[in-house]
Amino acid sequence: MKYNYKINLASQSQRRIDFLNQLKLQFNHFSVDIDETQKENELPLNYLRRIVNKKKEEALKIYHSDTTIALQDDNIILVADTIVVLGNTILQKPRNKEEAKSFLTTLSNRWHNVITGYAISNGNNINQYKFITTEVLFKKLSQNEIDFYLSDDEYIGKAGAYAIQGLGAFMIKKFVGSYSNVVGLPIMEVFSDLQELGIIEI
């Protein structure tokens, strides 16, 4: 694999780090810290667009100013954010077990969307934005099944209060679209973009 740009993942998500490793990519990673609070009456896609843009802007500040990361002109940054959406409601990371129970009860026997927005940018001639949606259907969950899932700590820190790649798989009846997108990064789309933008060559 030939690299025309150095890849820098601006994320602390272990799942996204693992995906890039799975693709056998060489990359650096660092975290960005922004306020991800949803504004009043802010629609899901507007929220996601704003958060991805804020992550990109913060990453580019580090790109241009943080000499400890040693980013130069031949570098690109990759940022992403994933939301779970039911109707026009974003199901964020649950604040406690009761809220997680409420989320799972609401998702039971219903379709919802998992949307990842990502940006690939060098702050100059490369500025790629995409939003990838996967539709997910939960099985009809009994209260015992919900309690069983919540007896594990997997729901903590997970948007929508579940992880499709773990114990939460038993709750998924079907999905339409990218599996990895539900986990946190649509790897087919990202890998294709890295090639189409001339960042890597195979």
Catalytic residues: 81
CA distance 43 to 64: 32
161 exposure class (CB count in 10 Å sphere: 0-12, 13-18, 19+): buried
Q: What is the DSSP string of 77-137?
A: EEEEEEEEEETTEE--S-SSHHHHHHHHHHHTT-EEEEEEEEEEE-SSS-EEEEEEEEEEE
